[in-house]
Structure 1
Amino acid sequence: MILKQLDQAVFLRDYWQKKPCIIRGFIPDFNDLIDENELAGLAMEDDVDSRIVSNNNGQWSVVQGPIEDFEQHCTGSWSLLVQSVDRFIDEIDELSDIVNFIPHWRLDDVMMSYSVAGAGVGPHIDEYDVFIIQGSGSRRWQVGLPDAYETVLPHPLLRQIKGFEPIIDEVLLPGDVVYIPPKHPHNGVALEACMNYSIGFRAPTDIELLTGLIDENAYEIKEPQRYTDADSILARGINSMPSAVSSHEIATLKSSLRKLLESKETDRAIMQYLSHQALPDCEPLSEPYSAEEIQDKLRSRAQLNRLAGVKPIYQSEQGDEHFEFFIDGNMFKTCASIRPVIENLLNQRNVDLSQACFDKAVEDPHFVSIVTQLVNSTYWDISDLLS
């Protein structure tokens, strides 16, 4: 379970969602992308999810951000953990490109932690896949197999487990990574002051997906089909118990749900749900670009840059009339004729408009319109003219 390099096909076949592994030299010559002071600066912000977990002589404590007084809380063996750093810093967002053979809709976030020697959050189990990259320093990782472990709560905000036997017990050095599938117990302890970068991948349960579709009000159905029982009431029999619900009635309701789930509207609702990323609120442009201004920049071969954390998704199979894609719960629609150009735009972090595939697009009003929407929505920015 120790790999010396990442072979994507072998990894997906033998390890992804199956068993943990360590990949040595996952990022050769890796250096931290930000330092602990910059990470602490993020933890002070209101719109950033952060916490400090510490252990003082066996006594665990957890402090939720925003954090104002680090000196007060950073005592004993402590770790600072900051979620979704990729939403705020381009260099952290680019880390996810290393594992972009996993689709965008599965990506949750890139969490960062800084720990002093001896620190960790205790043995625990997560419900998601994670690649944990070792930054500066070193950390010992122990990973076990799924089982029915006893849960302990040493603090109301800290869930740990007891008694797992590790099948991996290794020290990670800068650039190494440990991959941990869901439900595999693990424990990481810093051997010295160190940084870690956790690329986490979500997988909704069927109930979460169904609830999410309802909560989002994502359906755009002009004429919802209401249940009817013109014949089933008679089939129940005149003397049937009024409290009883027949299996035929339940089957009819389930059949109606199946028709809804098989509809194009449900495809769209699922895509909208999967695209949500909880991106930070961005200030709207004080002066939105007009389509004419965007086209002038496009003609001058400006560069289009996807902003930190933005992960567009689209359905592979679509009709011949329109092409739809989604970003953070928002749908964008354009003419199917420019789909190849839009796919190039969505699947690249930075697009140089001098590329041949964009020559005709800069004159296409559909392309200009979409770029204008993306820039004004602060999902992309457009650079000054290139020299």
Structure 2
Amino acid sequence: MDILDGLTASEFLSDYWQKKPRVIRQAFPGFQCPVSADELAGLACEEGVESRIVIENDNGKPWQLENGPFPPERFERLPARDWTLLVQGLDHWVPDIADLLEHFRFIPNWRLDDIMASYAPQGGSVGPHYDQYDVFLLQARGHRRWTFGGHCDTTSPQVNDTPLRILSHWEGEDTVTLAPGDMLYLPPGIGHHGVAEDDCITLSIGFRAPTVDDILTGFTDFLCSQPGAEAHLNDPDLQVQDNPGTIGAGVIDRIEELIRDKLNDRSQLALWFGQYATAPKSMDIVVPAEEPITPEDLATAITGGEQLRWNEGSRFAYHELDDETALFVDGERYLLKGDARPLAPLLCAGSRVSMKPLARMAGESALLGLLTTLYNQGSVYFE
């Protein structure tokens, strides 16, 4: 497979990532979609699965949106064409879909959002729009015609009387039809419109980035939970002012110093961001193991050659500090020291853990205890 169309990962990131679209023919040659339309409809009926139906014209109302879960009979009442079913987080529920992500590990784990499936009969579409994230659109079944190009933002005209952000006056720059195995990369803000030419399924591999608001509010909330946050601003050097209504420059200086002191602690920032970035999108799938395992049983399974893999909804990352390595799994952090530090990059390299080096580490009781914790909380399991 050549998912980058002959480019190296460095070349793609330098020339295309967040810069311009790229059409990649047969990124996945002979691709067979692991799920059928009926299976997607079945998932859309399940609690805990985020799903939506978009109808282009619902009794004269343009681009109407319905949110799941849906009763099975809803699909019997849909028109023959011009509608779309969206199932979010398909990788959380289908291991074969999650395996596709291994081809995109040239992008950091923390940037991954999820894989969304879009099923549509002929004419089905979600309308011309733009997204605020990077996405690879992999054609999994049938054919979809994509028109794309031109930068869009909140000032771009949109259709009224719809809950969706549909562009009302937009003309793309390029048009292509994707067949199974073809893929289109789109950076944030690029207008695009995909229309099903027959019964088709498209898989959207999306990559998220936090907003400035997410970072500021998230980190300050984290700081407010740390020891010492309950302390009050003091002023033992208070002096009489000419006017009691004045907020003196010294007060602002003291507050600025306090804020800078908190923001300059890079280790605190790294620990917060690691936990924030690995918090699972769906807690419905990261659930404790039905049968908890003991460290001894875990060691036996590892040395016996069983394959350990991530829960499909779990997120793994790590950060190197001065004298320790912070491992982040599903919003929790684990600080590793000394000979334990190599465990973090080993666990984070891919969804299937390399078992030979892991077996060499399994003799260390502390590491075995950590692996047991990850197993029992549902972050990893034996395949």
* Unaligned 5+ runs, structure 1: none
Contact 1:220–1:265 under 8 Å retained in 2: no
Deviations 1:213-264 (A, max 9, x none): 345x476633336433344x53xx612352x545553343233222212212
Give 2:350's match in structure 1, choosing from 345, 348, 356. Answer: 348
Q: CA deviation at 1:151?
A: 1.9
* Unaligned 5+ runs, structure 2: none
Contact 1:279–1:328 under 8 Å retained in 2: no
Any idea what SS the aligned residue of 2:188 has?
A: coil
User: Which residue pairs with 1:165 in the alignment?
Assistant: 171
Where do residues 149-298 of structure 1 align in structure 2 (5 Å cutoff)?
Answer: 149-155=156-162, 157-215=163-221, 217=222, 221-224=226-229, 226-231=232-237, 233-234=238-239, 238-240=241-243, 242=245, 244-246=246-248, 248-263=250-265, 264-281=267-284, 282-298=286-302
Contact 1:17–1:182 under 8 Å retained in 2: yes
Aligned-partner Cα distance in 1 for 2:268–2:225: 7
Deviations 1:155-201 (A, max 9, x none): 2x211112223122111111111111111111111111110000111
Contact 2:318–2:348 under 8 Å retained in 1: no
CA 247–120 in structure 1, closer or farther in 2 if over 3 Å, else same: farther
Is the aligned partner of 1:311 residue 2:312?
Answer: no
Deviations 1:316-352 (A, max 9, x none): x2132x4321122122233331222442232132235
Contact 1:260–1:266 under 8 Å retained in 2: no
Contact 2:279–2:315 under 8 Å retained in 1: no
Q: CA deviation at 1:128?
A: 0.8
Taking structure 1 as the reference length, the TM-score comes to 0.88
Counterpart amino acid of residue 360 in structure 1:
R
Q: CA deviation at 1:101?
A: 0.6
Aligned-partner Cα distance in 2 for 1:340–1:80: 43
How many residue pairs align between the two structures?
371
Is the aligned partner of 1:339 residue 2:341?
Answer: yes
Deviations 1:286-320 (A, max 9, x none): 442222222232333332122213220111x2132
Contact 2:102–2:351 under 8 Å retained in 1: no
Deviations 1:24-46 (A, max 9, x none): 11111111121111111111111
Contact 1:135–1:174 under 8 Å retained in 2: yes
Give 2:65's match in structure 1, choosing from 55, 62, 65. Answer: 62
Aligned-partner Cα distance in 1 for 2:271–2:225: 9
Contact 1:135–1:194 under 8 Å retained in 2: yes
Where do residues 19-58 of structure 1 align in structure 2 (5 Å cutoff)?
Answer: 19-56=20-57
Any idea what SS the aligned residue of 1:374 has?
A: helix
Any idea what SS the aligned residue of 2:217 has?
A: helix
Q: CA deviation at 1:149?
A: 1.5
Counterpart amino acid of residue 330 in structure 1:
E
Deviations 1:42-69 (A, max 9, x none): 1111111101101237633211000112
Q: CA deviation at 1:93?
A: 1.1
Counterpart amino acid of residue 49 in structure 1:
E
Any idea what SS the aligned residue of 2:272 has?
A: helix
The two structures, once aligned, show a CA RMSD in angstroms of 2.3
Q: Alignment identity in percent?
A: 34
User: Which residue pairs with 1:375 in the alignment?
Assistant: 375
User: Which residue pairs with 1:79 in the alignment?
Assistant: 84
Any idea what SS the aligned residue of 2:195 has?
A: strand
CA 342–268 in structure 1, closer or farther in 2 if over 3 Å, else same: closer
